[in-house]
Each structure stands twice: as structure tokens, then as C-alpha cells.
Amino acid sequence: MAKTIAEINEKIRQGKAVVVTAEEIIEIAKEKGIAKAAQEVDVVTTGTFGPMCSSGAYFNIGHSKPRIKLGGGRVYLNDVPAYAGLAAVDIFIGVTAIPDDDPRNRLHPGEFNYGGGHVIEELVAGKDIRLVATTYGTDCYPRKKLETWININDLNEAVLFNIRNAYQNYNVAVNPSDKTIYTYMGVLKPNLCNANYCSAGQLSPLLNDPYYKSIGIGTKIFLGGGVGFVAWQGTQHNPTAPRSENGVPRRGAGTLAVIGDLKQMNPRWLVGTSMLGYGCNLTVGIGVPIPILSEEILRYTTASDAEIFAPIVDYSEAYPQMKPDILGEVSYAQLKSGKITVQGKEVPTASLSSYSRALEIATILKEWILSEKFLLTEPVAPLPGVESGITFKPLNERPIEERNPSP
Amino acid sequence: MIVSKRIVLHFPRRLVDRPIVYRLVKDYNLEFSILKAFITPAEEGLMVLEVRGEQKEYDKGVKYLTNSGLRIQSLSQDVTRNEERCTHCGACVAICPTSAFEVDPLTRQVKFREEKCLACGICIKACPPRAMELHF
């Protein structure tokens, strides 16, 4: 029954493609069986909407008169430092950047109300952003100071470029210690009083394509409300993580680096967020279409929350101290029931990733495809899979010894 | 009829050191639990109470408080959700001491049940998009 992406695109153009979400496919496959479902369904759409720290955006602001060389200088956007170690008027802002005068965790837990993620959200919303820069002068770039409003519509390029998004599975965070802790997984109450998780489970892109059979470099995706592409595997991509029999990783595994034109995106899908006592972030919406090229690819998309397992990790001790121990594994179905059992204790659960918004993304992507606005792309290269042997290594820390000054 | 209501009392500076709430028990036979109490730097007092008793007595008690010069607000209006900013992630659900947030099992959207809210404020800063707002 093998189909090709070109054949699926032809069906999309003719308005004949059958497109369903990764939630709908579970029931369809149960009803019709894998073989029939694979024949009938052409595309399964996925979605995820969660905080993704390794995100950022780059801009070309255009040249001022006289010219200024921001490269090598300092640049702030609404007081948030941007990276300027590039050409004259190219800058990059990361979502975790915070103003120099932010009190941080000096009064713990710090609030982190405004950072790079919020700058990106406001920029995408069309708001003016205050740019303040200082640098050194040169013969060809004499100006040393710049203070100006910038607006996304005036920028030459505004590109969202996230080097690690859409984690394939994630930890469930708990706190067995006797004091409240403030983490990137939210506020964790002492004595195992809550458990926070962060994945769209059965809707999540890479959990529907566990071996990266269809998602690869060049795959066209929904990104922040616009269209983007998979640029590369994300940082910390770890295809060799332990897997269940259905192929689904039982730990954080694959990741995606994604890129897209910020000018077409929408602040509903790029939300600046603040993690109490931890820092600033951007909650990013991503949806990836999975072309049903074979029964095998379809079978992977039918993994339901009950068949996807995540590790429970102690964020008061094991996580900060880089200890590999886990306190058990739970399925996303258990997590979504509102309660799990950890060390014999019933613990209420909460999610940091919005399932309802993930479903909305999968549905929008489905509508885009059905309305012929969105055609699928053939990956230009695969993501490294299990066979690559790539693993996520810890830092090999080598103390720097003071050398004796030469005589 | 027995009623149970959550109210916010604003004490003006001149009444901060007067035993006013005590009279609710003594004269109107109302039970109360103090959910929150503090005095601001301007020496105004704020107290959040859960009050329980006969409707008639409750009404009289509230009248007494108002006549004494206190400003009274019903509590449910004090913590609100900015629906534009809420992403329905659920970070608030397990940290709320009174389970005022519930995930709808079908839509997976987070419902905010204002009548259960004590206005403790824990959710305000724990909400990643800062969608919860406290108004006194």
C-alpha cells in the first residue's frame, strides 16, 4: 500500500486527502484495523504547546544613517540584552535573557516577569520595541550610540530559530524533600504534594514518529501560528534513550531545531512565560504533519496516552545532582487522570504543556491541509536515529590548572 | 437557613485595633475562619473571612460591620483569570490549596471555580503566562 509524499500532495491538491489528528487516529485504527486505516488515511497531524527554553529569534534591523556596527557592541530590546556578536545590524535574542537590573533570585523565589520570550511575543503582536545600543566606532561605522523604536513590519528579516523544541517525552517532576522548590517544571510542593509533567503525550509530534521515519530535516511544520521547517535535530537529541516495545521512548529522547518567518506568526502561539524562582521562557506552538507512507508509520501514530510512559524524577535531589535514579514510571493516561502514585503516596498531577492548545494546533494544521493551503515536504535528510548511536553526554569537566608563568 | 460566605473586610486605620470581628460571634452567633489577615504599611487592615450562620444573623452581622465603618467585598471577585492570557496548561491545578482549578476531562481545558477560591494568591506567580490577577 506504500504511498509517496508526492501522491499525498496530489490528493491534497484535488481536495481528496484524508487528514485526521493524532487523537482521532487512535479510534479510527481501533475501529478499522491498522491495514485499512493506513490505506484510507493520508496524513496524521500532531501538536504541542509548551514552554521551550532553547528558543530565540534573529533580526536584521536595517542600517542607520550614519552607520553603526552593533556587532561587538551591546544591544538591549526593552532592556533585555540581545546577542550582537554578528554582522553590523544582525542581532539574536534568546527567550531566557532578562534585563541586567532584574533582581533575579536575590529575593527567592524571583518573579522573572519579563524576558526575551516576552520581547518576542510583543514583537510578533506588532508592538513597538525599544532598542538601545552602544558600541565602538570605526571609519566605516562611525556611530557609537543608537536609541530607537523598532517594529516587526520594518525589520528586513525576523526569524524564529529554536535550537531545541518538541522534546520526545519528558520527566515528571516531584519533590520528596521537606521544603517547596521552584523549578523549570513549576512550583513543587514538599513531601510529594504535586507532580508536574510537560508533554502533549499522544498528540506530541515525535511521540507519533518515534523512529523519525517521516519527520526529518526540511519537514514543513506549523510553527508559532505560521509555517516553519525542521532545520536540524535539536540539541541534546538522544535517539538511543530506552524505548518500549511500541518504539516509544520512555525518557526524554529526540528533539527538533525549528525555523520560520516570525512575521507570519501569531502571539497566540508564542507566549512569553515566567517560571517562579527559575526564569523567563517562551511557550511555543508546534504542529507536525505525518504522511502515512506505510502501515508501520500509521501504527506508530496510534500510540495512545496509556501506552506512553514517562519517568518520575526527584527535582530536589536527583535532578540537580545529576543522579540517574528515577522514582518509577507512569503513563500519560495516569498523569491525565489527575493522580499518580509515587512511593505509595497518591500525588495530584498538573501539566505545564497545554493539551487543549496542542489539540487546537493539530486541528488547525489539519484544516490547512484540507483547504489545500499546506502541502507536505519530503525531508532532505533524516534525523539521526537509533542506528547513529548518538547519546546525550554529560559534561566531562576538566579543572583548569594554573600554569606557572614562563621564566 | 444556614449560609456560608467568604468575604473580604477592609478596616480603615481608625478601626485596626478594635475587636470588631469578635462581635460577630458574640452578638450574631456567626462562626468564622480567618483565611488571611494583614495590615498594610498605611495601617489599613485587610481580613479574608469565611463566615457561617443563619442568613438573618449573617445579614445583621454584615450590617453591623458596615455601620462600624468597614468596607466589605465578596471574595469571588478578587482573583480573576485573564482569559486572553490563559493557555490552559494546568500549572495552577495541583498547587491550589482549595482545588479551585479543575481540568475538564473532555476538553482538557482548565476551569476556574471562583466560588472555591480563597484568594490566597499562590496561583498568581505560579502561573507561567501570568494570567491570574489579584484585585482587592
Q: Do A350 and B108 touch (CB under 8 A)?
A: no
Average pLDDT, chain A: 97
Please tell me the predicted confidence (pLDDT) of residue A401.
87
Please tell me the predicted confidence (pLDDT) of residue A403.
76
When pLDDT is averaged across residues B9-24 and rounded to a whole number, the result is 86
Kindly indicate whether the domain formed by B2-77 is annotated with CATH number 3.30.70.260. yes
Please tell me the predicted confidence (pLDDT) of residue B77.
58
For residue B87, give the nearest of A187, A271, A349 by CB distance: A271
> Measured between alpha carbons, how far is A249 from A270 in angstroms, rounded to an integer?
27
Cell numbers placing B40:
498594610
The residues, any chain, with a CB within 8 Å of residue A1's CB and separated by 6 or more, are A35, A38, A39, A294, A295
A168 contacts A254 by C-beta, under 8 angstroms: yes
Please tell me the predicted confidence (pLDDT) of residue A406.
66
* Fold: same for B2-77 and B79-134: yes
Please tell me the predicted confidence (pLDDT) of residue A67.
98
B 55-114 near A (Cβ less than 8 A) = 85, 87-95, 103, 107-109
Tell the residue number behind the cell numbers 590548572, with chain if given: A401
At A284-294, the pLDDT tens digits run: 999 999 999 99
Residue A2 has pLDDT above 80, yes or no: no
- Percent pLDDT > 70 in chain B is 98
Residue B87 has pLDDT above 80, yes or no: yes
When pLDDT is averaged across residues A240-248 and rounded to a whole number, the result is 97
Q: Do B125 and A283 touch (CB under 8 A)?
A: no
Please tell me the predicted confidence (pLDDT) of residue A175.
98
Higher pLDDT, residue B19 or A261: A261
Q: Do B128 and A193 touch (CB under 8 A)?
A: no
Please tell me the predicted confidence (pLDDT) of residue B21.
87
Q: What is the 3-state secondary structure (H, E, C) of chain B?
A: CEEEEEEEEEECHHHCCCCCHHHHHHHHCCEEEEEEEEECCCCCEEEEEEEEEEHHHHHHHHHHHHHHCCEEEEHHHCEEECCCCCCCCCCCCCCCCCCCEEECCCCCCEEECHHHCCCCCHHHHHCCCCCEEECC
Please tell me the predicted confidence (pLDDT) of residue B6.
85
The residues, any chain, with a CB within 8 Å of residue A174's CB and separated by 6 or more, are A188, A192, A194, A195, A312, A313, A314, A315, A327, A342, A347
When pLDDT is averaged across residues A372-390 and rounded to a whole number, the result is 97
B78 contacts B26 by C-beta, under 8 angstroms: no
B112: closest CA among B99, B124, B128, B126? B99
A102: closest CA among A80, A130, A70, A134? A80
Sort out which chain B residues have CB atoms less than 8 A from A196's CB and list them: 91, 94
For residue A350, give the nearest of B87, B93, B129 by CB distance: B93
Cell numbers placing A168:
520526545
The reply to whether A359 touches chain B by the CB within 8 Å rule is: yes
Please tell me the predicted confidence (pLDDT) of residue A145.
98
Poorest-pLDDT segment among A88-92, A214-218, A230-234, B65-69: B65-69
Residue B136 has pLDDT above 70, yes or no: no
Sort out which chain B residues have CB atoms less than 8 A from A276's CB and list them: 125-126
When pLDDT is averaged across residues A307-334 and rounded to a whole number, the result is 98
At A327-346, the pLDDT tens digits run: 999 999 999 999 999 999 99
- Percent pLDDT > 90 in chain B is 52
Which phi and psi (to 5°) does residue B102 adopt?
Answer: -135, 140
Residue A98: half-sphere exposure toward Cβ, Cα within 13 Å? 19
A287 contacts A365 by C-beta, under 8 angstroms: yes
Please tell me the predicted confidence (pLDDT) of residue B1.
87
Q: Which of B125, B132, B133 to mutate to test the interface with A (most CBs of A within 10 A)?
A: B125
Please tell me the predicted confidence (pLDDT) of residue A133.
98
Q: Do A355 and B94 touch (CB under 8 A)?
A: no
> What is Dmax (Cα atoms) for chain A?
82
Sort out which chain A residues have CB atoms less than 8 A from B87's CB and list them: 49, 271, 283, 354, 357
At A8-35, the pLDDT tens digits run: 999 999 999 999 999 999 999 999 999 9
| A404: confidence class by pLDDT, cuts 50, 70, 90 | confident
A368 contacts A374 by C-beta, under 8 angstroms: yes
Residue A155 has pLDDT above 80, yes or no: yes
A223 contacts A166 by C-beta, under 8 angstroms: no
Residue B76 has pLDDT above 90, yes or no: no
Residue A216 has pLDDT above 80, yes or no: yes
The interface predicted TM-score of the complex, written ipTM, equals: 0.94
Poorest-pLDDT segment among A210-214, A220-224, A302-306, B26-30: B26-30
The residues, any chain, with a CB within 8 Å of residue A217's CB and separated by 6 or more, are A230, A231, A232, A233, A379, A380, A381, A382, A383
* CATH assignment, B79-134: 3.30.70.20
Please tell me the predicted confidence (pLDDT) of residue A263.
98
| B61: confidence class by pLDDT, cuts 50, 70, 90 | very high
The reply to whether A199 touches chain B by the CB within 8 Å rule is: no
When pLDDT is averaged across residues A234-248 and rounded to a whole number, the result is 98
> Measured between alpha carbons, how far is B114 from B49 in angstroms, rounded to an integer?
15
Domain spans of chain B? 2-77, 79-134
Catalytic, A53? Answer no
Residue B75 has pLDDT above 80, yes or no: no
Residue A293: half-sphere exposure toward Cβ, Cα within 13 Å? 15
Residue B45 has pLDDT above 80, yes or no: yes
At A94-124, the pLDDT tens digits run: 999 999 999 999 999 999 999 999 999 999 9
When pLDDT is averaged across residues A48-70 and rounded to a whole number, the result is 98
Q: Is A377 exposed, middle or buried (0-12, 13-18, 19+ CB in 10 A)?
A: middle
Residue A389 has pLDDT above 80, yes or no: yes
A217 contacts A208 by C-beta, under 8 angstroms: no
Residue B120 has pLDDT above 90, yes or no: no
Residue A382 has pLDDT above 80, yes or no: yes
Which phi and psi (to 5°) does residue A7 adopt?
Answer: -65, -40
Sort out which chain A residues have CB atoms less than 8 A from B88's CB and list them: 354-357
| A81: confidence class by pLDDT, cuts 50, 70, 90 | very high
B99: closest CA among A42, A193, A16, A57? A193
Could you tell me which chain A residue has the CA closest to the CA of B90? A351
A335 contacts A317 by C-beta, under 8 angstroms: no
> Measured between alpha carbons, how far is A312 from A339 in angstroms, rounded to an integer?
13
